[in-house]
Structure 1
Amino acid sequence: MRLLFFWTLCGVVALSASAQDINNLGHQSWSTENGLPQNSVHQIFQSSDGYIWIATEDGIARFDGIDFKIFNHENVPAFTSSDTCCIVEDAHGALWIGTSDGLVQYAKNAFRHYPLTDVVVSLAIGDDGDLVVLSGNGLLRFDGKNLSPLALPSSATPIALAKAADGGLWIASTAGVFEYRHGDFRSVPLPGIAAGSIEAMGSLPGGIWIRTTSHITLIQSGHLRTLEAGHDLPVTRIQSVLADSRGDLWIGTNQGLFVLDLRDGNNSPQRQSALSTSSILSTFEDREGNLWVGTETSGLDILRRQNFRTVPELSDRVITAIVQTSDGAMWAGTNGDGLDRWQGGKLQHYSVHNGLLSEIILALAPGADGSIWVGTPDGLNHIEAGKVTAYTSADGLPDDLIRSLLVGGDGSLWIGTRRGLAHWADQRFTVFTQANGLKSNLIGALLQPRASDSSHDLSHDLSHNLWIGTLNGLSRLHDGSISTYTTKDGLSGDVITSLSEGQHGTLWIGTKGDGLSSYANGVFTSLHRSDLPQTIDSILKDDHGNLWLSSIHGITRLSAASLVACGASPECNPRPISYGRSDGMPTEEASATGHPAAWKTIEGQLWFATRKGVAIADPDHLSENHIPPPVVIERFMLDDMELPLSATEQSIPPGHNSFAFQYAGLSYAAPAKVRYRYMLEGFDKQWTQAGSRRIAYYTNLPARHYRFHVQAANNDGVWNETGASLRFYVKPPFYRRLWFLLLVVLGIAAIVVLLYRLRLRRLHQQFQAVLAERNRVAREIHDTLAQSFVGVSVQLELTAQLLAHSQIDAAGQQIDRTREYVRDGLAEARRSIWDLRAATAQHTLPTRLTRLAERSSTENLPIQLNIGGTYRPVAAALEDEILRIAQETLSNVARHANASRVAIDLRYHSNRLTLTIADNGRGFDATDNSLTAKGHFGLQGMRERAMQIHAQLVIESAPGQGTTVKLEAPIPAQKGTATNG
């Protein structure tokens, strides 16, 4: 008793749960054909991040519910042997894998090998966090740095290793069982159990189980029970044991899997039929309560609790309509296979051989005292006490094709046909058609509510109202008067397919292609939502306030109150839950052929007609998954190149266009129903609803910081709001980096400064050009018009003197010379203004200089001209400037020198010409710089002209010694011009 009390104290507290129905477990299997590395599964383990790990004889596999990723000797050098036995995770999140050639550690996406001299048998983590290894040579302890031997007391040989519920370790040996805690061993006596035969042990709610090859001993809450192979189990060898969280003990044997309900101490183990007689090596329960099974030759299996079950006897029928009669029997009409009655596990069949008008059943309605009304394409049948009575159009029906049936509160029968609505009461038919106010004679669903109508537009009891679904709206029959409502009144659609009564007088209306509508307080409301079926074949309300909607895409459950609160708003989520084949339905395609296609039984169970039998749900015992699925990012691909995953921000060089993120929600209850949403922060403004898609693509991302965030929801719509994230930074190209932008700014600034300075230079040059032009014009006026005017003035003074002395002829000659001066002055002015320069031989520098000398020569001032060298044509501008300098010099001689002789020498050289003008006048001080201030600009103009043609001007003079002006001007070389001197 003290031993039993000890096991009670160190056991775990039992979890209250409903009994496991082993006949309602979904089964799925995987083998090497599905990606498993090898079919002998020695252990199944779930790591803290949510992955399922499978140890096989050809490496380990990581499973996310859809795909396997294999690690073995072929792709991971750390696996010197691919034969693995066991997996365990330490407190730091590192995985330890036992192989036939030592240990392999998996941490931070890297593998490391620790060699041992013998095969690893089992692994466990002690309460101090150290790894304990059971190998063929005994126990070893790894403290994070080194492996060291761990010796049992009395030199016992360890056989098995297991973790206790309180964190300690149990070690079975040839000398008995020891408890290892805080680095110390303590012997645990087990009377009646041969110590050397123990192969494994584990925790039970309130106790412990001990397994040998042929026995299982259960010590629980002071009770001891032993199960023996060949006696309690029809097998020869027991190979694995698992106590799950629901209070069931799963026993793997060499001939299949068995389950024992630990809450009942007298029951016997039951075989799990899905695994047949497979040899079971390992069992495991994940965090969602799914049972994983590893077999010896068939691979990996999973058993999941399902919310739907079927009736095997009806699995080959296309069910059209289903009802329950008052005697509790379930009736199912079929499409061509007659009518079936199911009760107490027995099936009774009705067909045309029993008197039915047709094998095709379109409508059913329960009658009084266990009877039933049956609608077919060929008329109406009534089955009572096994007797079949038929009614056709010959008896008053408007049409033989019966589409729907309803027994009213007064026991009368309403019949929907293609040609109107019939009412069977007092042994006669009354017909309602379009002539009576119906908008369509094609009648579908019928409903007569049982609650009172609180709407202000109807003061009568709803039981006096008959709601009629048609192809052209919803009609209501009240006291013989028919009213019809359509989309104009608020319905989401006019083709009515199903009707159901809700709480507080609410009417739920299903349509074809337009979703759901409701009627409450006299108002129709459209509830057309994208997250609900668009064509609703049937509507049922359970006792928990939920609506169940069937369609060809499965069955949807949601809270009626949440739906009313959300209405048609897409921003509000009423959290609908969809059911399909993974939930136990024989097919997702619910039947839409007859009425009613779904039924709520007296016991509260919901029966749905499908094309492969019936689907039955028990709303009181639904398996709901409230665990948010862990989310992992499995791959980060850049232009089809996979990048390593990192917890820190990754830098992406520029020039990449395609970004892909592969992720997974690690829920194994229904992996195909896991839903995802993701957002790339820095790019997306809202969540992208990805459905079941497990990869996201982005292209041409601008350079900036990003955070990819993904969330997942399990099969019951529970979201993991934390999700998984990955940060990365797309670097900008060089032309978008700061240093380059600064260089560009500096470059632009330099260009602006340069352009500004060029502009200033240009403006300065323009100013200098204008100033030079003004000076040139001044010189032109001084040297042409002014000189001409001076000459004219002198001639006129001479003419006046001659006239005063009555020398008429001489005066006339002076007047003629004056006219010639005027003409020459005008010509020079025009030439200066229009810049009419000629390069002909008649207007060369020698010719023009000769004419100037002749014009300036007088009797009192004779001018001698000497021209030497070989003539060379020069630019007209150059000749003009030389001529103006000569003209200014001769003018100065005539006006100021008081000379009696002037000599002009023009001489051409190979690359220059020289002009020398010498007089014997009174001369002046050539060093006097005040002449300009005194109004004498002639010399200044001569120097400016010399500068214009890059010539050298030398003026030699002194008072009383005459004046010599020397000009030496370069002659630019011209193509084809002689250069001899």
Structure 2
Amino acid sequence: MRSLFVHLWRSFLVLIGLGVSFGWAQKKYLVSILDADKEYISGSIFCLHKDKKGFVWMGTPGGLCRFDGTQMHFVRDSAIRAVDLVRTIVEDPNSNFWLGVNRIPSFFERYSTVAYFIRKTERFVHLKEKTKEGWRPMKGQPLGLLGTRLWCISPSNQQLFYFDVATRRKTVVLTQVPFFEDNNFYDHQSMFDGKRYLWIHLLEGILRFDTQTLESCYIFSKHPLNKLGNPTFFSHFKLTEEGIYAATKDFSGRLISNDLRTVKPTTKTQEFFAPHHSVLALPKAVYPYYPHYKTFGDGVQWLWNFNYGYKLNPLIPKFQKVTASTHEVPMKLSNRGFLVLNDSLLRVNLDDYQVLLYNKKTDGLFAPNPNDKLNNTGGRTFRSADGNVWIMAKNGLRVYDSLRKTIRTFVNPDTLQNESKFANTVRDVFETTPTTLVLNTESGMFVFHRKNLTFQRIPFFGTNGRVCLHDKEGRFYVGFNGKLHIGYLQDTVWRATTAPITGAIFRNGYDDVAHNQVLGASATGLFVISKTTWKVTKWTAKEGLASEYVYDVLTDKKGHFWVSSTRGVSRIDPYRSKVENFKLTDGLQSNDFNSRTAYLAPDGEMFFGGSQGFNRFYPEDITKNTYVSQPYLTQLTVKEAPYKLPMVISEATSITLPPDSNSFAIQYSVIDYVSEGVNSYQFRLLGSDSTWVNANKQTIARFIQVPAGKYVFELKAANSDGVWNPIPTRLKIEIRPYFWQTQWFKALLFLGMVIGLYFFDKYRVRQLLAQQRKEIKLMVQTQEIERNRFAKEVHDGIGANLTALRIMVGLLGNVDSAMLKAKLENVLETTFDDLRGLINDMSPRSLKTKGLVGVLRERATLINQTQKVYVIVNVSRKFPKHLAEEYEVNLYRIAQELLQNTLKHASATEATFYLDYIGKCLILSYNDNGVGFDVAQAKHKNGNGLSNLQARTQLLHGTMETHSALEQGMEVTIKIPYDFTLE
């Protein structure tokens, strides 16, 4: 579906006499032609209905057209063909519609069927009934709904029936009804009065049918039960409180009493039905399609026919404007004042000394006749008491003699200055006596003597004085040297009546006689000066004026001040200290006005001139627009594309969006038949931000990356005068989260984490226990290896020595005692040395004092003294001087094991240790130049040497790499994690 923007072809004022009782006074309306785009909808309108929500629905060819005062939205689907005509609309309690659809299967056949329109989905459904030929569309045209009974007429079957929407049953109550059917000249007028009666348009007369008693009453009919009048064809009839107004083909009328007992002639039917009616003079309202009329109680009038629709807005633009565009004048209309020529005609003074004439009654703007001397002479004008017109020209003062029809020019010799081309320009003229005028010129103030035609300077003010106002009492208000001087002129002599008022200089003023005060328009605001006390008050932007640069001021009958400025027109209520500023949308010619162009007509009408033309208005007609706008939603877009919802968004109260649709935009409009599209908007998204966003005239709200959750979109609208609707339109929006953002997923995740932590803890405990068992096993294994080594050392060393000692002791007395003593001492010394070495190997006491490096170097020195193997100990500067006891003992045992293997098995002559600290790891490298061995075979045999080294390394969570081969020595590298900074 697409929304069609209404083309406002032309907006203009017309005087029409319309109303409920046909006794109305003339009233102004702004008439708008509703001309929809032909590509989507024909301009024909066959019925019009205003629903409970405020939309105006039009029955058109091919579907329905919804109008909100600004936009048209055409609704159609395959159930209604483009040639089908929607002729009647009846709303049910759910705001859905029962429709009468005029179907034209062929040129010679036409009938109406009953259809149902579902608002939420914008679908049409045809009602069907069972006939002899099977199920066929139900022929009929709904007129009204009472309870569950949908009352319909069927002109093709000549039946009046009702359809029970609850039981879905059709009941025929009248047959052989001679309905009038539409033709090219007249429309079918049958209607329901909304309470009880159906009024049926017959070929002759009218049938009133009582839906409660099922009684029929005929008037002006051939029917035997005819109650009133002779058989007559009525082209139109209307129901009013006064009675039934019925019109005939010749537009003569009858007023029939509501009780159908009396009838009398009337001409008031012509006020609406007659072709000479002023509304019919509107464009495209041509014979014979005279418009239908309807109002819905809000003051807006609706007229339509087979061609176009018309909306008559009672709240016209506040100011009627006359500009080059409104009156198709090929020139700039910068206004410089007015001159009243007669009751209807104004002279309009323009820039560049041009002149146009304006007819107030016909709103016509035109050039003067070439033979018109007065109005072909440009310049600002002033009419003196004798009827002569004085014209302010740039080369002097001119006068038009109203009797002789001649023009004369007077040049002031005192102002002829070659250096200034404006030196002789006359700006203002004031009449003091029948024989003298006071002039404002570019060279100062002068008195012009009309008898001797001479200029005389007013010396008091030199060349800088300027008359601002000449009041009714004859006082002059002169701006001079930063002060306002007030007084009288006696010839050219200045007589002050009060002390000068500092700072109250104004450009031009208005003598408010009714309130005994003077109003002054200045570049800094509006001055109000009491002529009783000479007290000065001032209105500025602080008090609410749109602009302090005031051009002109007038007062109305209520004592309100009307001022023009650089920002439009303002109305000041001095009693309530209230300022109301008007803008372009109120009908102003522009925002910029000109000075000395204000004119107050005798009937109270005001004129203000500006740079693009002028405005005219009656102050009492400037009323506030109190029409309450009703905003509604038109479309939802996600990722810049329309988003399909289960129902149209204007009917939705809540929507749900998937997680990937959290960036969206909501388009909106407003139901307002008075503001002519001049509306403002505010919106907010509760749950995200409670602050109202001023969207001004923007009709779309965008939201980016809104988190998952529940929100409420609220929308308010203001009419053309800034009156906001009190209750915002609301739409609940739920943005679903991704599954990982849902509460159940978070709960499952938390539960999983708890279970995972539980099992991880159990696993960690098992690992710790396993590690402990492994370490215990390694300790036991290491201890077992140490025990075996200790046993072997004791057996091979100390044990052998003790055996030798026992044998030697047994030889005592049998051998040379001196030789035996020497051997005994040598064996004992060796045994003691072996025992000390073994004890030292088991528990090196010097580790605590000398550290690992010191003990290794000491051990190397002892071994080097034997001259069997030369041991070298190299240490990096980064290697810690002291380690934790556990690390020093185990590294020492590893070093011992490496030396032990070299001394016993390697037949090496040289061995080297290298200690380093790299990347928080202790590095112990060892190599010798011995016979070497097969590493794989040694691991397979699981000898005590490598096993002991591997066990101690694992106790320190380190790694060991062994490289060796036969006759190639051995190389061992051990890496042990160690962070000595934590100690």
TM over 0.5: yes
How far, CA to CA, are the matches of 1:785 and 1:624 in structure 2?
Answer: 116
How far, CA to CA, are the matches of 1:220 and 1:429 in structure 2?
Answer: 79
Deviation, structure 1 residue 485: 7.8
Amino acid corresponding to residue 25 of structure 2 in structure 1: A
Q: Unmatched 5+ residue regions in structure 1? A: 1-11, 233-240, 242-247, 260-269, 452-460, 487-495, 566-573, 849-868, 885-943, 950-971
Number of the residue aligned with 1:428: 456
Matches within 5 A, 1:40-79: 40-72=44-76, 75-78=77-80
Deviation, structure 1 residue 40: 3.2
Amino acid corresponding to residue 617 of structure 1 in structure 2: F
Number of the residue aligned with 2:688: 683
* Counterpart pick for 2:206 among 177, 195, 199: 177
Contact 1:364 1:596 in 2 (8 A): no
Deviation, structure 1 residue 114: 2.2
Amino acid corresponding to residue 633 of structure 2 in structure 1: I
Number of the residue aligned with 2:598: 598
> What TM-score comes out, normalization by structure 2 length?
0.64
Matches within 5 A, 1:570-589: 576=581, 578=583, 580=585, 588-589=589-590
Contact 1:364 1:595 in 2 (8 A): no
How far, CA to CA, are the matches of 1:401 and 1:703 in structure 2?
Answer: 77
Amino acid corresponding to residue 290 of structure 1 in structure 2: V
How far, CA to CA, are the matches of 1:688 and 1:62 in structure 2?
Answer: 28
Number of the residue aligned with 1:890: none
Number of the residue aligned with 2:26: 20
Q: Does 1:282 align with 2:298?
A: no
How far, CA to CA, are the matches of 1:99 and 1:714 in structure 2?
Answer: 36
How far, CA to CA, are the matches of 1:463 and 1:684 in structure 2?
Answer: 62
Compared CA separation, residues 727 and 26, structure 1 to 2 (3 A): same
Amino acid corresponding to residue 135 of structure 1 in structure 2: S
Amino acid corresponding to residue 84 of structure 2 in structure 1: S
Number of the residue aligned with 1:141: 162
Deviation, structure 1 residue 202: 1.3
Q: Does 1:843 align with 2:902?
A: yes
Deviation, structure 1 residue 872: 3.6
How far, CA to CA, are the matches of 1:787 and 1:975 in structure 2?
Answer: 26
Q: Does 1:210 align with 2:246?
A: yes
* Counterpart pick for 1:114 among 120, 127, 130: 127
Contact 2:368 2:376 in 1 (8 A): no
Number of the residue aligned with 2:704: 699
> What TM-score comes out, normalization by structure 1 length?
0.64
Contact 2:424 2:443 in 1 (8 A): no
User: Which structure ranks higher in relative contact order (CA pairs < 8 Å, sequence separation ≥ 6)?
Assistant: 1
Deviation, structure 1 residue 738: 0.4
Contact 1:326 1:370 in 2 (8 A): no
- Larger displacement relative to structure 2 (774-783 or 161-170): 774-783
SS at match of 2:750: helix
Deviation, structure 1 residue 335: 2.9
* Counterpart pick for 2:88 among 77, 81, 86: 86
Deviation, structure 1 residue 95: 2.2
Deviations 1:535-591 (A, max 9, x none): 7665554334666565788x55556469945xxxxxxxx7755454xx7x5x73366
How far, CA to CA, are the matches of 2:769 and 2:91 in structure 1?
Answer: 85
How far, CA to CA, are the matches of 2:37 and 2:501 in structure 1?
Answer: 63
How far, CA to CA, are the matches of 2:550 and 2:393 in structure 1?
Answer: 22
How far, CA to CA, are the matches of 1:733 and 1:506 in structure 2?
Answer: 73
Amino acid corresponding to residue 809 of structure 1 in structure 2: A
SS at match of 1:39: coil
* Counterpart pick for 1:294 among 297, 301, 304: 304
Number of the residue aligned with 1:860: none
Matches within 5 A, 1:673-822: 673-750=678-755, 809-810=822-823, 812-814=825-827, 816-817=829-830, 818-819=832-833, 821-822=835-836
Number of the residue aligned with 1:100: 102
* Counterpart pick for 2:337 among 322, 344, 350: 322
How far, CA to CA, are the matches of 1:606 and 1:29 in structure 2?
Answer: 29
How far, CA to CA, are the matches of 2:204 and 2:72 in structure 1?
Answer: 42
Number of the residue aligned with 1:627: 627
Number of the residue aligned with 1:649: 654
* Counterpart pick for 1:527 among 525, 541, 547: 541
How far, CA to CA, are the matches of 1:410 and 1:697 in structure 2?
Answer: 70
How far, CA to CA, are the matches of 2:51 and 2:423 in structure 1?
Answer: 64
Compared CA separation, residues 19 and 380, structure 1 to 2 (3 A): farther
Compared CA separation, residues 300 and 534, structure 1 to 2 (3 A): farther
Amino acid corresponding to residue 118 of structure 2 in structure 1: A
Number of the residue aligned with 2:608: 608
Compared CA separation, residues 194 and 95, structure 1 to 2 (3 A): farther
Deviations 1:714-769 (A, max 9, x none): 33443322243222211112221101222333344455556666776787788789
Deviation, structure 1 residue 207: 2.1
Deviation, structure 1 residue 527: 1.9
Number of the residue aligned with 1:913: none
Matches within 5 A, 1:91-490: 91-101=93-103, 102-109=113-120, 110-115=123-128, 123-125=142-144, 130-136=149-155, 137-145=158-166, 146=168, 148=170, 150-152=172-174, 156-159=177-180, 161-164=190-193, 168-173=197-202, 176-181=205-210, 182-187=212-217, 189=219, 193-219=229-255, 224-227=264-267, 249-251=271-273, 253=275, 258=277, 272=281, 274=283, 277-287=286-296, 288-296=298-306, 298-305=307-314, 306=316, 307-309=318-320, 315=327, 316=329, 318-323=333-338, 330-336=346-352, 338-339=354-355, 360-361=378-379, 363-364=380-381, 367-368=384-385, 373-381=390-398, 383=400, 385=402, 388=407, 390=409, 392=411, 394-396=413-415, 399-400=422-423, 405=428, 407=430, 422=445, 424=447, 428-430=456-458, 448=469, 466=478, 476-477=484-485, 483-484=502-503
**Number of equivalenced pairs:** 779
Contact 1:323 1:366 in 2 (8 A): no
SS at match of 1:741: helix
Deviation, structure 1 residue 606: 1.7
How far, CA to CA, are the matches of 1:271 and 1:80 in structure 2?
Answer: 28
- Larger displacement relative to structure 2 (810-819 or 524-533): 524-533
How far, CA to CA, are the matches of 1:499 and 1:771 in structure 2?
Answer: 113
Deviation, structure 1 residue 371: 5.5
Amino acid corresponding to residue 97 of structure 1 in structure 2: L
Contact 2:36 2:42 in 1 (8 A): yes
Number of the residue aligned with 1:879: 944
Deviation, structure 1 residue 407: 4.4
Compared CA separation, residues 402 and 776, structure 1 to 2 (3 A): farther
Number of the residue aligned with 1:543: 557
Contact 1:788 1:825 in 2 (8 A): no
Deviation, structure 1 residue 184: 2.8
Q: Unmatched 5+ residue regions in structure 2? A: 1-17, 104-112, 130-135, 181-188, 221-226, 450-454, 487-495, 530-534, 845-855, 860-889, 908-933, 967-983
Deviation, structure 1 residue 62: 2.1
Amino acid corresponding to residue 873 of structure 1 in structure 2: A
How far, CA to CA, are the matches of 1:83 and 1:37 in structure 2?
Answer: 12
Compared CA separation, residues 184 and 428, structure 1 to 2 (3 A): farther
Deviation, structure 1 residue 373: 5.0
Amino acid corresponding to residue 707 of structure 1 in structure 2: V
Contact 1:657 1:700 in 2 (8 A): yes
Compared CA separation, residues 26 and 344, structure 1 to 2 (3 A): closer
CA RMSD of aligned residues (A): 5.8
SS at match of 1:813: helix
Contact 2:346 2:360 in 1 (8 A): no
SS at match of 1:603: coil
Number of the residue aligned with 1:638: 638
How far, CA to CA, are the matches of 1:783 and 1:799 in structure 2?
Answer: 24
